[in-house]
Chain A
Amino acid sequence: MALLEVRDLSVTYSPRDSAAVRAVDRVSFDVHEGEFVGLLGESGCGKSTLGTAVLRLLDRPAAITGGSIRFDGRNVTTTPEDELRSLRWVDLSTVFQSSMNSLNPVITVRHQFADTFEAHPDAFGNKQGKGLDIGARAGELLELVALDRSVLRRYPHELSGGMKQRVALALALALEPRLVLLDEPTTGLDVVVQRDILDRLRELQARLGFAVLFISHDLGTVMELADRVMVMYAGEIVEDQPAAEMVTRHLHPYSAGLLGSYADPRDEVVKVEFIPGRPPDLSQPQQGCRFEPRCPVAVDTCRTVHPELLPAHLGEVRCLLVEQATDPRAVLDKAAALRSRDQVFAAGAEARIAAEPVLVMDGVRKVYKTRRGLSPTVTTAVDGVSFALRPGQVTALVGQSGSGKTTIARLLTGVERPTSGTIRFKDTAVDQLGRRALRKYRRHVQLVFQDPFSALNPTRTVAYALSRPLRNHLGMNAAQARTRAAELLETVGLSPAEQYLDKLPHQLSGGQRQRVVIARALAPEPELLVADEPISMLDVSIRAEIVALLDKLVRDRGIAMLYITHDLLSARLLADEVMVLNHGVMVERGPTLEVIGQAKDPYTRTLLAAIPRPGARQLT
C-alpha cells in the first residue's frame, strides 16, 4: 500500500457565469513512503489544482467531483474539515508557490511556528507533554534550512524572498510530516538562491525520509531532483516514468516536446524546440487524444479514440501510437523527423560580424542616496560599467537580483541619469537630454517587459495599445495606425491580424500577450530594444517560440538588443555577447560561448552551477 493513493480523481470548476471546466480528469497515481515524485506540465494543465485537491484545500467554485484520495490507507476524500484538521500538517504538509505571501505579515516567525505546534498538541515534538520548548524546536528547524535562530524574532517583511521560502520549508517540516507537497516552491526566486534551497530540500528529504510531491514547470529541476516524474497535460497524466528514463527514453510526444524545450547552455550547439498551439479548452467535451491537435505524429484514430494510461517501458504512457507500436521509441524518432524546421531554434558557435555601435555606455556609475532618519545610506547600484550595443546584435546582461541590471535599463532609456560617466546614442548624449529631447529619443529605444500580464492596459484593445506609439511617435492618423498595427501583429506571428486587433488582453494567452508587447515595442521602429526578462513569466514550452521571434526581429531589422536575464539558456540561444554583472560591477564579458563555456569569474560559475542537470543525480 502506497502512502498516497489517488484514484480516478476529478476536479471541476463550476463558475456561476461560465461553463464548467474539468481541470483534473480521472487522475490516478501513487506516492510511496520516502519517494520524491515530480509533477510536470504547462500552466493550465491542472497540476496545481491536483495538488490543492490532494491537500483538500479546494475552494469554490472548484470541487472534487469524483474519485478518491487515500492517505496511508485512510480515505480522506470527503472527510469533514473538523476531522481533517488533526491530520493536516502531521501527515501532509506543503510549501506554496509564492513564498512572498505565505507567511502572516503581522506576526513573528516564532509565532507562526507556535501556532502550528499549538494546533497539534498530540503530534510530534509535543509527545513529552507540555515540555515542548517551542523556541528551541523552531530554532532547530530553522537551522535545518540554514537559517539563524534569530530569524524567529523577525516579521516576514524583514526577510528576503529566499529566507521566507526557507522559513516556509522549515514550517513544512515542523511536525515531521510523511509527505510534503511542493508547488513551484522556488519560482520567482533568484537562480542561485533557488539552487541552494533545492539542494537543501533534497538533502533533508534523504536524511529525514519524508516523501515529496514536487509540482513544477521547471523541467530541468524536476528531472534532476525527482526519482519519478509524471507529466500532466489537459487535466490528465500522460506519462509516468523514473526520472532517468524520462530524460533519455520518454515515450509520449508531449514529454518529448517539453524536454525539447530544455537544453544545456554549455553545449557546443544548443537546440531547443517548442510545441506549437495551445492546450484544449476543457470546458468543451473532449474526444480522442487531447494532445492530438499539437501532436506531430498523430494519426486519424488519435482524433476519435481516447487513449488510456497503460504500462509502457518502466512506467505508464497515454498514447495510442505507443500502445500499438512494437518498438515505442520508433514513434519518437518519427516525431523528431517530422518536426518542421521552424519549430526548432538552434544557436551554434559562430560569431556574427560586428557593426558600428548605436549605443555606447562609458564608465557609468549610478549612486542612490536614501535618507531615513538621520543617517543617509549610499548605494552604488552601477559602478564603472562600459559597453556598446551594435545593430543586429544581442547583448545579454546577466546577474542576480539586485546586481544593477534594471538600473542599467533605466539609464539606457533615460529614466535615470548617471552619477558619472557618459551614455551616447549615435551622436546624442543620452545623459544630458532634456525632457523634450528625451521624448524624441525614446522613439528609438523601446522596452519589452517581464510581465505580459501587467504590461498591457486591461481595458484597452490590442489595436489601441499598438496605435499609441504609432500616433505619438510617428504622427500617424487613426486609419494609418490601424493598418500598421495589423502589419505589426503579422510580424510578430499573430496572424491573421484581424482576429487579434479588437481583442482585450485577458482574451489572449500569455505568449500572445508577450507578442503584442513586442509588437508595441517595434511600432515606432526603434533602433534599440531593451528586453527585461521577456520570457521568465512564460511557460517553458513557448519560451523558445518567443526567443526565436526576438532573434528573427533583431537580425531582420538590424535592431540592437539588450537582453536582461538570469536565464543562461536563453542568453546562450539569443545573445552574441554576454556581460555578467555582480553588485553593480561588470565581472565578466565576452562572446556568449566563451563566457558560458569557460567562465572565469566565481559568480558566473555559481550561476552555471545553478543550472539543473537532468539525470545527473542518477549518474553520480
Chain B
Amino acid sequence: MLYFVRRAGFFVATLWAAVTLNFLIPRIQPGDPAQALLARLQGNTQAVNPVQLEAVRKMLGTQDGNLLAQYWDYLGAICTGQFGVSYSYYPYTVTEMIGTALPWTLILVGVTQLVSFAVGTLLGAWAAYRRNSRVDSVITLGSTFVGTLPFFWIALLLIFVFAITLNWFPEGGGYGGGSSPGWSWLFFSDAFQHSVLPAVALLITGPIGWIIGMRNNMVQTLGEDYARLARARGLPRRRIALTYGARIAILPNVTGFAIALGGLLGGTVLVETIFNYPGLGRLLLEAVSNKDYPLMQALFLFTTIGVLIANFLADVTYGFLDPRVRRAEAV
C-alpha cells in the first residue's frame, strides 16, 4: 500500500515541477511574441507602432505583472483548462485546437500502440516458447528484417501501392471532402478508410521492438533455474511458459510500453505528417513552424503530463506484477 502512496506522491511532485518548468522556460527565452507577430505582419523593415504593439498584446492576452503574479495566474488558468489563444489559428483557443486534434491521435496511435504491444508480446512469447523451431526463426528473422526498414519508407510505399496505384484507400487526411466531423455513419466509415494506411504503417513497425524484447527476455527466464526446476517438477509445459516464463519476462516490457505511450505525441509527428493526418503531431509541427507559443506550450505540457501519467501507471502495474519492487520500496 505504502508503495502506491509513494508512487502517487512522486507523481504529484514531478507534475508540479513539469508545470513550473513549462511556465519558466518560455519566459527565460529572449524575444517578445507580440513584436514577432507584428514584425511578421508588417515585414521587418517598418518600425513597430507602440499602440499596435499594445493592441496585439491585448489580443493575445500576454500577461503583465511580476513573475509571481503571472505564475499564480498561470496555475489558475491551467487548472481551469485555459491555455490562451492560438497565435496561428486566431481566434481559436489552444484548448479548442487541441480538443479537435486529440481524438484523431488518441484513436489512431493509441489503438495501434496497444495492438502492437499485445501482438508483439504474444509473438515474442510464442517464439521463445517454440525456441529454435521454424516458428521462432520466422518470427525472429522476419521482425529483424522489418526492423531494418525505415518507417517513412514503409509509409510511402503503402501510399504508393494502395493509394496511388491501386486507389483502394485515400492517400492522406483524416476524412474526405464529402463528409464533415459528426456522429454520422458516413463520417465514421470515411474516417476509418482514411486511418487504414497510417494504422497499417504503424502496425508493421510497432510490434518489432516488443517481439524481440519479449523473446529475448523469455528465452532467458526459461533458461533460469526456476524454470528448469519447474520442468523437473513435472509442471505442464504451458504452465511453465506462462507462470515461469512470460509472467517474468513481460516485466521490462511493461515499463517500456508505458514510456512508449508517454512519448506518443513525439512519435506521431512523422506518421501524421506523411499521411497529412489532423492529429496532435501535425498540430505540434505547425505550432513550431509558426512560432505559436501558447499552442506549443500547451502541447508540451500535454506531452509531459502524458509521460508522467504513463510512468505512474507503469509503476503501479509494475508494483502489482513484481512483488520484489513493492517490497524493496515499501519497507
Contacts and interface: CB of A to CB of B under 8 A. Distances in A.
B323 A157 contact: yes
A57 B239 contact: no
A119 B228 contact: no
Given A60-B132, A86-B234, A373 B322 contact: no
Interface stretch (A94-102, A478-486, A596-604): A94-102
Interface stretch (A104-112, A193-201, A438-446, A505-513): A104-112
A84 B234 CA distance: 8
A155 B233 contact: no
B235 interface: yes
Interface residues of A, number: 35
Contacts of B27: none
Interface in B209-247: 223-226, 228-237, 239, 243-244, 247
A582 interface: no
Interface size class of B (residues with CB under 8 A): 20 to 34
B232 A106 contact: no
Contacts of B130: none
Contacts of B327: 155, 157-158
Given A104-B243, A106-B247, A157-B324, A96 B234 contact: no
Contact of B234 (A88, A103, A105): A88
A103 B248 CA distance: 12
Contacts of B132: 60
A171 B239 CA distance: 17
Interface in B1-28: 2, 6
Contacts of B228: 57, 96
A89 interface: yes
Given A155-B323, A157-B323, A119 B231 contact: no
A144 interface: no
A119 B234 contact: yes
A81 B223 CA distance: 17
B321 interface: yes
A450 interface: no
B51 interface: no
Nearest to A157: B324
B324 A96 contact: no
Contact of B233 (A88, A107, A157): A88
Contact of A57 (B232, B243, B248): B232
Most chain A beta-carbon contacts within 10 A, residue among B6, B239, B244: B244
B166 interface: no
B331 interface: yes
Interface SS, B side:
helix
A93 interface: yes
A85 interface: yes
Contact of B232 (A55, A120, A155): A55
Contact of B324 (A59, A85, A102, A155): A155
A89, A105, A155, A171, most chain B CB atoms within 10 A: A105
A115 B231 contact: no
Nearest to A90: B234
Nearest to A105: B324
A115 B226 CA distance: 13
A96 B331 contact: no
B239 A119 contact: yes
Contacts of B223: 59
A43 interface: no
Contact of B226 (A85, A94, A103): A103
Contacts of A270: none
Contacts of A105: 226, 248, 322-324
Nearest to B324: A157
B324 A372 contact: no
B321 A106 contact: yes
28 contacts: A57-B228, A57-B231, A81-B237, A84-B234, A85-B236, A88-B233, A88-B234, A89-B233, A93-B232, A96-B225, A96-B229, A97-B225, A98-B225, A101-B226, A102-B229, A103-B229, A104-B244, A105-B324, A106-B247, A106-B324, A107-B243, A107-B247, A115-B230, A119-B234, A119-B235, A119-B236, A120-B234, A373-B6
Interface of B: 2, 6, 132, 223-226, 228-237, 239, 243-244, 247-248, 321-324, 327, 330-331
